[in-house]
Amino acid sequence: MSIPVVVFFNNKGGVGKTTMVYHLSWMFAELGVRVLAVDLDPQANLTAAFLDEDRLEFLFEQAGAPRTIFGAVQPLITGTGDVGIPHIEAITDNLSLIPGDMSLSTFEDSLSEVWPKCLGRDERAFRIMSAFWRVSQRAGESKNANIIMIDVGPNLGAINRAALIAADFVVIPLGADLFSLQGLRNLGPAIHQWREEWTERLAKNTMKNLALPKGGIKPIGYLILRHAIRLDRPVQSFEKWIARIPSTYAKEVLRQESAVGMTIESDPHCIARLKDYRSLMPMAQEARKPIFLLKPADGALGAHMYGVTESYKDFKRIALRVARDSGIGEIGQSA
């Protein structure tokens, strides 16, 4: 039985995908869940959030294959073998990371080339298309992980297609703006198309000894991040975009009609609407920890500590929802 994989994805950048994967990975670890975070964005921002520059330099500048996700798939790119044994960075006892790498962008052409070849029952094509899933599962099994969290870039390219077919579940972070809605209109059809096309390809696989992802890509819901706050309410300019999210999500992602009068507050697919913890983020980045673990020694004093406490409640609530919907079950209720 494979480890559940959750991908955080939107065609629009700047909506907090990496921030969410980073913070939820930490929160899961806090709640006693063993989590593997995987950085499949060639920009490697998730990796930079977890690791300092000295450690990054060490990982990237290894002789031979770097100790990153790129190093694990490099034998497939060069044609010298199958996926390698992934390097895993231990962040805490419950939290591990497969580091990202800008060189991963060179894998894009291979992934594009082999996608149609899967229909021709090409063995190497299936090995390449399943590389991310097989590397993640191997690493997760070695750490006895309960869940795998994947961060991806904001595009509909071949790398993200391979990342999404590796996913059992998808969470869609959104901003309260026109471009996030347009991203939702783009990614909804892409998710359906990739799921259907991978199902078609799975039927062509004749290698019974090669484990492949099912490509379920089941939407768990959406998160609204970084919306401006004025007296605990979104500023007026964002309200119209927020109001359109439930119907757009229902139509484009679920292929359903939204209930009449559905709002963010009443939409069961809205996982959370997070405040903008902007003043805490620089402290968290400096301390290299999530905002909900900041201490007075990190500079979180007075009103900042109130924000720390509130952020803990927010991210715990999201973690519990993702755990429930991804099949992990009840976790950390006493935490």
Q: 319 in helix, strand or coil?
A: helix
What pLDDT does residue 61 have? 83
Average pLDDT, the chain: 91
Q: 257 in helix, strand or coil?
A: coil
Query: Is residue 308 a part of any domain in this protein?
Result: no
- Tell whether the model's pLDDT for residue 230 goes beyond 60: no
What is the rounded CA–CA span in Å between residue 99 and residue 311?
Answer: 26
Average pLDDT for 295-307: 91
Query: Is residue 122 a part of any domain in this protein?
Result: yes
Query: The whole model's pTM is what?
Result: 0.93
What pLDDT does residue 315 have? 96
Query: Is residue 20 a part of any domain in this protein?
Result: yes
Query: Is residue 17 a part of any domain in this protein?
Result: yes
Chain segment 18-59, per-residue pLDDT in tens: 999 999 999 999 999 999 999 999 999 999 999 999 999 999
Question: What CATH number corresponds to the domain at position 271?
Answer: 3.40.50.300
Query: Is residue 315 a part of any domain in this protein?
Result: no
Which of 51, 35, 41, 5 lies closest to 315, judged by CA? 35
- In our burial notation (b when 16+ CB lie closer than 10 A, e otherwise), range 167-193 reads bbbbbbbbbbbebbbebbebbbebbee
Tokens of 123: 């063995």
Query: Is residue 202 a part of any domain in this protein?
Result: yes
What pLDDT does residue 279 have? 81
Q: Which residue has the higher pLDDT, 212 or 302?
A: 212
Chain segment 52-78, per-residue pLDDT in tens: 999 999 998 876 778 999 999 999 999
Going by pLDDT thresholds of 50, 70 and 90, the confidence category of residue 334 is very low
Residue 220: φ, ψ to 5°: -85, -35
Contact 186, 76 (CB under 8 A): no
What pLDDT does residue 277 have? 79
Contact 319, 28 (CB under 8 A): yes
- Tell whether the model's pLDDT for residue 123 goes beyond 90: yes
Query: Is residue 151 a part of any domain in this protein?
Result: yes
Average pLDDT for 205-226: 92
Q: Where in the sequence is the domain holding 215, given as residue range(s)?
A: 5-277
Query: Is residue 286 a part of any domain in this protein?
Result: no
How many structural domains does the chain have?
A: 1
Q: 254 in helix, strand or coil?
A: coil
Chain segment 146-202, per-residue pLDDT in tens: 999 999 999 999 999 999 999 999 999 998 888 888 999 999 999 999 999 999 999
- Tell whether the model's pLDDT for residue 90 goes beyond 90: yes
Average pLDDT for 110-131: 96
